[in-house]
Structure 1
Amino acid sequence: MKNKVGIYGIVLLLLVGCKVMTPEEPIPTLLVQKENRPKKAWKLVWQDEFETKELDTTKWTRIPPNNADWGNYMTSDDQCYEITDGLMYLKGIKNNDTLKDPRPYLTGGIYTKGKLAFQYGKIEIRAKLESAQGAWPAIWMLSEQKKYGDYPRNGEIDIMEHLNYDSIIYQTTHSYYTLELKQKENPPYYTTVPCDTEQFNTFGLEWYPDRLVYTLNDKESYTYPRMEGVDPSQWPFDQPFYLLIDQQLGGSWVGEVDPKDLPVQMIIDWVKLYQ
């Protein structure tokens, strides 16, 4: 009898001490490249060419709405998503059913949050950008974990942003150092690059332990280096980041939306990650 009581007691302690796991928080695939690895040729480690009729949900999630300028009109509504002939269409549209959703516009976007994040490597996205007043397509990256605290402590990497009918794109590095400490010239935190938006272009980033190298159509356009002797918040880019691709509408930077210009879309051909 004493032995049985002892066994039951151990089982009870194990049950109480165990945390019940739920599937709500997926564990992402983390592709972390060693900092001091020998220089080698890039190797393709992850890609999506959108050859299936439906979005691959093992790789992507439709971005939900949020309170940031860029996220005001994000939706999972099928009207803002289409995959046809190996192309992914992310759309910004006028909302014709404000009883179902009161927002005047709806926008589509996808991200790898919770599914894939990487640290160091080369990422390229081939895409075509359509123009409209208030259109703000973007390809960018955020940290998967909060290593240094809340935004902007962990930084933001903007591989491509396009505004309205501009003939340029913006490539920008954000952090607490640039946004809160206002250190925008030591080193310069962004550049603009001429871009023919009538064509498909390849937007890219090469990420090293000591620098971010932005590219357009395989040509280097801007480098953001890791600095010595400055506030440590200048370089939060030593942790895994996930990828966001979205057709945003409206906001304090891009300005008001002209509904007569809608719909507008960003067309994604493929996404490739190398390490």
Structure 2
Amino acid sequence: MKRLILLAVIIISLLQGCKLRTYTLVDNYQYIQNQKQHQRQVDNKWKLVWKDDFNGNSLDTTKWTKVPAGKSAWNKHMSYDPSCYALLNGLLHLKGIPNPDTSLDKRPFITGGIYSKGKFAFQYGKIEIRAKLGAAKGAWPAMWMLAATNKHGAYPRNGEIDIMEHLNYDSIIYQTIHSYYTLNLKQDKHPPHFGTAKFNTNDFNVFGLKWYPDSIVYSVNGQRTFTYPRVKGVDSSQWPFDQPFYVLIDQQLGGDWVGEVQPADLPVEMIVDWVKVYQ
């Protein structure tokens, strides 16, 4: 009799756990928010589904990969060099530094960045990143998201969600949406595709957004800052945000937008405390 009661309790607990689960896991890394959760969420209803507190002695490679170098403005200085990374006292340091050895790598600067590509992605929900931004001439720290699948085609068809970008010594950050609609069709004002927000330049801030099927609502330190809505009756490329996206966090340097790097201002770093995703 006791065994039957214990078995019943276990079954009920498992069923309750299934009911409380806010997502469906696809390919063992894509957290797709359940359909019934798509309505507006009351803040205390969000459930934490994924996080990293950076409390280990090394980067958790089950969650992150160091960003490789590329030919774009944002990744042209990315490096695997350990000098660009540090994990100290529960904080991840992503650095932009003068290249200490140009004998093989001719680039004048190298930078650190991480992404969750192929390891974690989510569709709809809330993401928050607590970090402190360094400042330098030519510094361009960013937190952003790209599509994990190829649902709508090559970039920019799949869109880009920029949680936060900071330039130089600015006292504001940029929060931006990019897509074929904004870039190729030049529809960047219908609706406006970016906003700016002030932040605490000398302290940690929480940068985030809430992503719904009909809007993306940005925030800084819990305060709503900018909203990008889904618009009816326009080209379908206006809303490619119906698929899982992965997360990128990187300390970029240089480029047409931010301008030239001032070597005397380096090193510069972005210090990340934690990343949390809710659904």
Q: Quote the residue 1:35 is aligned against.
A: 35
Q: Quote the residue 1:56 is aligned against.
A: 60
Q: Quote the residue 2:115 is aligned against.
A: 111
**Root mean square deviation, CA, Å:** 1.0
Distance apart, 1:146 and its partner CA: 1.1
Residue by residue over 1:64-86, the C-alpha shift from the partner in whole angstroms, topping out at 9 and shown as x without a partner, is 00111000000111000000000
In 2, are the aligned partners of 1:28 and 1:117 still within 8 Å (CA)? no
Q: Quote the residue 1:8 is aligned against.
A: none
Which of 72, 86, 95 is the equivalent residue of 1:68?
72
Which of 164, 175, 196 is the equivalent residue of 2:200?
196
Larger mean CA deviation between 188-197 and 206-215 belongs to: 188-197
In 2, are the aligned partners of 1:28 and 1:114 still within 8 Å (CA)? no
Q: CA separation in 2, counterparts of 1:61 and 1:49?
A: 16
Q: CA separation in 1, counterparts of 2:100 and 2:117?
A: 30
State the one-letter code of the partner of 2:270.
M
The 5-angstrom pairing of residues 82-97 of structure 1 reads: 82-97=86-101
Q: CA separation in 2, counterparts of 1:28 and 1:72?
A: 31
In 2, are the aligned partners of 1:193 and 1:221 still within 8 Å (CA)? yes
Q: Give the TM-score normalised by structure 2.
A: 0.88
State the one-letter code of the partner of 1:157.
I
Report the number of matched residues.
Answer: 249
Does residue 134 of structure 1 match 2:138?
Answer: yes
Q: Quote the residue 1:147 is aligned against.
A: 151
Q: CA separation in 2, counterparts of 1:259 and 1:43?
A: 44
Query: What percent of counterpart residues are identical?
Result: 62
State the one-letter code of the partner of 2:30.
L
Rg larger in structure: 1
Q: Quote the residue 2:190 is aligned against.
A: 186
Does residue 269 of structure 1 match 2:273?
Answer: yes
Structure 2 portions without partners, runs of 5+: 1-26
In 2, are the aligned partners of 1:73 and 1:106 still within 8 Å (CA)? yes
Q: CA separation in 2, counterparts of 1:197 and 1:44?
A: 28
Structure 1 portions without partners, runs of 5+: 1-26
The 5-angstrom pairing of residues 230-241 of structure 1 reads: 230-241=234-245
In 2, are the aligned partners of 1:131 and 1:165 still within 8 Å (CA)? yes
**SS where residue 35 of structure 2 aligns?**
coil
Q: State the 4+ residue runs in structure 1 displaced beyond 4 angstroms.
A: none
Q: CA separation in 1, counterparts of 2:240 and 2:206?
A: 26
In 2, are the aligned partners of 1:28 and 1:113 still within 8 Å (CA)? no
**SS where residue 178 of structure 1 aligns?**
helix
**SS where residue 87 of structure 2 aligns?**
strand
Residue by residue over 1:160-189, the C-alpha shift from the partner in whole angstroms, topping out at 9 and shown as x without a partner, is 000000000000011000000000111110
Distance apart, 1:140 and its partner CA: 0.2
Q: Quote the residue 1:210 is aligned against.
A: 214
Q: CA separation in 2, counterparts of 1:71 and 1:206?
A: 26
Distance apart, 1:100 and its partner CA: 2.8
Q: Give the TM-score normalised by structure 1.
A: 0.89
Distance apart, 1:96 and its partner CA: 2.2
Which of 230, 233, 236 is the equivalent residue of 1:229?
233
